[in-house]
Structure 1
């Protein structure tokens, strides 16, 4: 046989002439010296199974659209979601997901996590903690913390309140050992004078290359 097939041996079991040709019944055995030890239909075949979930991906793209530009070194930015109780401010940085800047529930305002990014430019005061390749950079935790407080103030003012309305803060630091002292100093000069309760947690990372974020609960201003 050819180089791509087995070498075969066997015997003719029956033969009969048919219209100038012939038909035979044969018994074949592959020889041990066969080139590939394959049956006739066992040649290697390349095939393409296609990409999975293509239609699902297109539907999701049509249903949910992200805004641009992306946060420096982070995910795409979104327009804040709107609703009857939502509070959003053009003076605050855009969210990195589908949520509002704040939501009013009864006599309270619940703010989404607030970082130091600047509205419009997405610049990070004090510099990002890493570059676009993840390489660590030097940064100023005091400048970042002050920018967080400023963004909180803008959101509260959009709701008709002020920084004086803050009741409770949960802070997140990506490097507690390095940054707690500087963060604490800015706190003492700003929110510390207001007197909210506070919890400070160490975490591994935040969605954008920032060192600090705060989650705030505040008194909601009385409706007119």
Structure 2
């Protein structure tokens, strides 16, 4: 074997850069032209200049969304509550988490599970141009998503204790949001704080953070 190190010809099939070096897949064939007295790197070597990543078969954890940031599968940990009936998170966190007799929900928006559509329409298009939207439809969709998560946790919308709401346009949207609240969660009677914020990660106008009992 040592006398035939360079008695080979072939071609590079694929190449991947690895920590400043590289790894290649090659096809080698015996060659009569080899001298058998040189190391591999003593002659000119073929340099592969194709695209990197051709050997990468791993898939990212997140799933691309047509609107806004990438969507993630909800994380699993002790006490986590997740359901396919709620929209995917935009980061590494669960839909909710049980601690004792309480359930803490991550911020819930109006996006629809599976389709990622926004009832009432998004607040802007993909170029950032403002769009007209229905805050009542968005608020109702948020509450519907909350109900689905609580049902998965073995609770219900009637067990909501405290809500923190986030509106991206308080002047425009508070009245419509408040009307839907009165017809739904207002009848349950949780405490509530409503905050005006500049933006949310997806093109939505309202999000709610909920604490409920089991």
TM-score band by shorter chain is 0.7 to 0.9
Aligned mates of 2:159, 2:57 — CA distance in 1: 40
Q: What is the TM-score with the length of structure 1 in the denominator?
A: 0.69
CA displacement, residues 99-150 of structure 1 (integer Å, 9 cap, x when unaligned): 0000011111000000000000000000000000110000000000000000
The answer as to 2:144 corresponding to 1:150 is yes
Which residue of the other structure, out of 54, 63, 66, is the alignment partner of 1:68? 63
Distance in 1, matches of 2:127 and 2:57, equals 30
Asked if the contact 1:66–1:76 (Cα under 8 Å) also holds between the matched residues in 2, the reply is no
Where does the alignment leave 5 or more consecutive residues of structure 2 unmatched?
A: 1-18, 22-52
Q: Which runs of 5+ in 1 are unaligned?
A: 1-52
Deviation of 1:205 after TM superposition, in Å, equals: 0.1
**How many equivalent residue pairs?**
163
C-alpha displacement of 1:68: 1.9
Choose from 130, 137, 140 the match for 1:136. Answer: 130
SS in 2 for 1:96: coil
Matched, 1:213 2:207: yes
Give the superposition deviation at 1:65: 2.8
TM-score (norm 2): 0.72
Task: Report the aligned-residue RMSD.
Answer: 2.1
1:85 aligns with 2:79: yes
Larger Rg: 1
